[in-house]
């Protein structure tokens, strides 16, 4: 079978045949037919805007791989910092590389005192932590004179290190501010996830880091580290294509993630479960969703038309956490919702399955995080994916500044009318 596609412009009879590689053909074919021809593709449903070697996703089969490694294996055998190294560098680290990487990240966790005392203290007392995280990420770049030096590999590496190392510190700082609690400095003797939990929850000397909970946190970080060209990552790439510094680009990506249809869904799931209240109310809720009165949050995905593999792993992990913390009372409602939806033709025919956000909120809540922190918990590990895509884009000679075309539907040319004649 020929691996080509032939496109005929019926207006002119002109035709062009181009190769299909990796399931894609180059849009140069359309320009060859007619340079003014546009493909109308809102939300990029059929458009591959880049080549990428970072994450592979097969939504029909429910497959997710980072740099070729199945997410299930990484979740079981790896840890977040090793996965971060893999995403950024393409290979798992050797012993020596791992040691250096951990040392470097650990020694970049501090943030400038002015960030906390002057910048964060300026927020209103009830500011949403995700709004604070977005702003603090952009502000962080202003503390480094080399932030904009993205051409030098060493400099970009340093900004990457800073953003990955400082994201948990910023996140914890935003939380402590909103709770009126004193800031806890990073502790270099703890690993990435334990240090984050310590900065979040330590009150005086009274916080023991439970290894089961730290492992669950680390696992959630692994599962959220990258997910190819989602809305936030696409935002990162678009902003990076203008050669904005990585702090500004990451702040833009985090803003996209904040949306309830994207990373904000984990927060929305808990509000939904609380609103449903008990399993008896599940059928009525499902009937409302089917009648178009709201969505079943944590269900459905642009790419997965099968169970999201991350949701499978998270669901299992939830039980380990609940053994330590006690069961989250909303779990029964979530299980009943899932069971009901997966038997219902509305969800089955549309291939709507639980996504990563359906069960993650239940674990976050059991770990002690307030609902407003959930999207921040998504942003911390996703910082790694964003930065891997940022670097990949800069190295890709096919890329230029992003600039989609439009289909103009406004009025044609007309003359200005003076205000007294309108
Ligand atoms: N509940 C009820 N109906 C739904 C849902 C849902 N969660 N998701 C999609 N549908 C319906 C939708 O109404 C449409 O039906 P119809 O064909 O009759 O109009 C059909 O399914 C296709 O939906 P769509 O909106 O065209 O699908 P999409 O690919 O544009 O949207 C989505 C993907 C994730 C935005 C959507 O499924 C959704 O809103 N889900 C709930 C929010 C959510 O959980 N988001 C987290 C996504 S995973 C984490 C992340 O990537 O950030």
Residue where the block lists tokens 């949701």: 311
Query: What pLDDT is stored for residue 322 in this prediction?
Result: 92
Q: How far is CA 381 from CA 96, 115, 124, 175, 192, in A?
A: 23, 21, 26, 17, 11
pLDDT band at 260 (very low <50, low <70, confident <90, very high): confident
Query: What pLDDT is stored for residue 316 in this prediction?
Result: 92
Question: What average pLDDT does range 309-320 have in this prediction?
Answer: 93
Distance CA 178, CA 181 (A): 8
Query: What pLDDT is stored for residue 116 in this prediction?
Result: 83
The lowest-confidence range among 84-93, 132-141, 214-223, 254-263 is 254-263
Question: What does the block give as tokens for 225?
Answer: 């580290």
| Residue nearest atom 14 of ligand 1, based on CA coordinates | 350
* pLDDT over 90 (residue 190): yes
Query: What pLDDT is stored for residue 107 in this prediction?
Result: 95
Question: What average pLDDT does range 71-98 have in this prediction?
Answer: 98
Cα 128 to middle of ligand 1, angstroms? 25
Query: What pLDDT is stored for residue 32 in this prediction?
Result: 93
* pLDDT over 90 (residue 384): yes
Distance CA 249, CA 131 (A): 15
Cα 55 to middle of ligand 1, angstroms? 22
Question: What does the block give as tokens for 220?
Answer: 């959630």
- Crossing angle of the two packed helices 331-342 and 356-367, in degrees rounded to 10: 170
Question: What average pLDDT does range 276-303 have in this prediction?
Answer: 95
* pLDDT over 80 (residue 327): yes
Report the SS3 class of residue 16: strand
Q: Which domains does the chain have, with CATH numbers?
A: 1-39 (no CATH), 54-394 (1.10.580.10)
| Residue nearest atom 49 of ligand 1, based on CA coordinates | 262
Distance CA 355, CA 352 (A): 9
| Residue nearest atom 37 of ligand 1, based on CA coordinates | 300
DSSP 8-class letter at 119: I
* pLDDT over 80 (residue 225): yes
Cα 79 to middle of ligand 1, angstroms? 31
411: left (phi over 0), alpha (psi -120 to 50) or beta: beta
Predicted TM-score (pTM) of the model is 0.94
Query: What pLDDT is stored for residue 254 in this prediction?
Result: 98
Query: What pLDDT is stored for residue 153 in this prediction?
Result: 80
Query: What pLDDT is stored for residue 208 in this prediction?
Result: 84
Q: Which long-range contacts (CB under 8 A, 24 or more apart) does 213-218 make?
A: 213/321, 213/324, 213/325, 213/367, 215/320, 216/317, 216/320, 216/321, 216/363, 216/367, 217/193, 217/367, 218/79, 218/80, 218/191, 218/192, 218/193
Q: Please state the atom number of ligand 1 nearest to the C-alpha of residue 300.
A: 37
Q: Please state the atom number of ligand 1 nearest to the C-alpha of residue 263.
A: 52
Query: What pLDDT is stored for residue 206 in this prediction?
Result: 72
Query: What pLDDT is stored for residue 204 in this prediction?
Result: 83
Distance CA 93, CA 101 (A): 9
Average pLDDT, the chain: 95
- Strand-pair partners of 21: 24
The best mutation among 229, 300, 353, 354 to test binding of ligand 1, ranked by most ligand atoms within 8 Å of the C-beta, falls on: 300
Cα 304 to middle of ligand 1, angstroms? 11
Question: What average pLDDT does range 119-134 have in this prediction?
Answer: 94
Distance CA 32, CA 334 (A): 52
The lowest-confidence range among 98-102, 116-120, 394-398 is 116-120
Cα 350 to middle of ligand 1, angstroms? 9
Query: What pLDDT is stored for residue 307 in this prediction?
Result: 87
| Residue nearest atom 18 of ligand 1, based on CA coordinates | 350
Give the residues surrounding ligand 1 with Cβ less than 6 Å away. Answer: 230, 261-263, 265, 289, 295-302, 350, 352, 355-357
* pLDDT over 80 (residue 147): yes
Question: What average pLDDT does range 207-211 have in this prediction?
Answer: 87
Q: Please state the atom number of ligand 1 nearest to the C-alpha of residue 227.
A: 51
Question: What average pLDDT does range 410-418 have in this prediction?
Answer: 98
| Residue nearest atom 27 of ligand 1, based on CA coordinates | 302
Instruction: Tell me which residues are annotated as active site.
Output: 262, 301, 357
| Residue nearest atom 41 of ligand 1, based on CA coordinates | 297
Q: Please state the atom number of ligand 1 nearest to the C-alpha of residue 43.
A: 30
* pLDDT over 90 (residue 241): yes
* pLDDT over 90 (residue 152): no
Question: What does the block give as tokens for 208?
Answer: 């023991």
Question: What average pLDDT does range 244-270 have in this prediction?
Answer: 94
* pLDDT over 90 (residue 236): yes
Query: What pLDDT is stored for residue 232 in this prediction?
Result: 98
Q: Please state the atom number of ligand 1 nearest to the C-alpha of residue 303.
A: 29
pLDDT band at 301 (very low <50, low <70, confident <90, very high): very high
* pLDDT over 90 (residue 1): no
Torsion angles phi and psi, residue 4, rounded to 5: -135, 165
| Residue nearest atom 15 of ligand 1, based on CA coordinates | 350
Query: What pLDDT is stored for residue 267 in this prediction?
Result: 87
Q: How deeply is 396 buried, as exposed, middle or buried, from its count of CB atoms within 10 A (0-12, 13-18, 19+)?
A: middle
Query: What pLDDT is stored for residue 262 in this prediction?
Result: 87
Distance CA 420, CA 240 (A): 46
Give tens-digit pLDDT for 348-380: 999 999 999 999 999 999 999 999 999 999 999
Cα 299 to middle of ligand 1, angstroms? 7
Cα 293 to middle of ligand 1, angstroms? 13
DSSP 161-205: HHHHHHHHHHHHHHHHHHHTPPP----TTS-HHHHHHHHHH--TT
């Amino acid at each position: 079978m020929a691996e080509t596609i032939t496109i005929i412009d019926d207006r002119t009879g002109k035709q062009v045949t181009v190769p299909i590689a990796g399931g894609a053909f180059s849009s140069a074919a359309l320009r060859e037919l007619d340079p003014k021809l546009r493909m109308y593709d809102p939300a990029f449903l059929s458009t591959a805007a880049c080549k990428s070697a970072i994450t592979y996703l097969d939504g029909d089969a429910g497959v997710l791989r980072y740099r070729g490694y199945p997410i299930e294996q990484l979740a079981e055998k790896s840890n977040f910092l090793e996965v971060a190294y893999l995403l950024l560098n393409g290979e798992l680290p050797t012993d020596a590389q791992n040691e250096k990487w951990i040392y470097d990240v650990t020694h970049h966790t501090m943030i400038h005192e002015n960030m906390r005392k002057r910048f964060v203290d300026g927020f209103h007392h009830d500011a949403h932590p995700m709004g604070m995280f977005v702003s603090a990420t952009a502000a962080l770049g202003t503390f480094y004179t080399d932030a904009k030096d993205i051409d030098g590999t060493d400099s970009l590496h340093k900004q990457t290190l800073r953003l990955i190392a400082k994201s948990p510190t910023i996140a914890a700082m935003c939380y402590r501010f909103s709770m009126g609690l004193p800031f806890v400095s990073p502790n270099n003797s703890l690993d990435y996830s334990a240090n984050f939990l310590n900065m979040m929850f330590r009150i005086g000397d009274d916080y023991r880091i439970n290894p089961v909970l730290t492992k669950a946190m680390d696992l959630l970080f692994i599962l959220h580290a990258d997910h190819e060209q989602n809305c936030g990552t696409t935002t990162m790439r678009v902003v990076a294509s203008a050669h904005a510094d990585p702090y500004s680009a990451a702040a833009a990506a985090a803003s996209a993630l904040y949306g309830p249809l994207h990373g904000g869904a984990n927060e929305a799931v808990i509000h939904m479960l609380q609103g449903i209240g008990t399993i008896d109310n599940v059928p009525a809720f499902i009937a409302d969703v089917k009648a178009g009165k709201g969505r079943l949050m944590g269900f459905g995905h642009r790419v997965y038309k099968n169970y999201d593999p991350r949701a499978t792993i998270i669901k299992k992990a939830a039980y380990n956490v609940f053994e330590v913390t006690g069961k989250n009372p909303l779990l029964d409602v979530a299980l009943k919702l899932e069971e009901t939806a997966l038997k219902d033709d509305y969800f089955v025919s549309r291939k709507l399955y639980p996504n990563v956000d359906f069960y993650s909120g239940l674990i976050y809540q059991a770990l002690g995080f307030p609902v407003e922190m959930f999207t921040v918990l998504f942003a911390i590990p996703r910082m790694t994916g964003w930065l891997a895509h940022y670097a990949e884009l800069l190295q890709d000679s096919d890329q230029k500044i992003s600039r989609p075309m439009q289909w103009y539907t406004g009025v044609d040319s007309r003359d200005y009318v003076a205000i007294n004649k309108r």
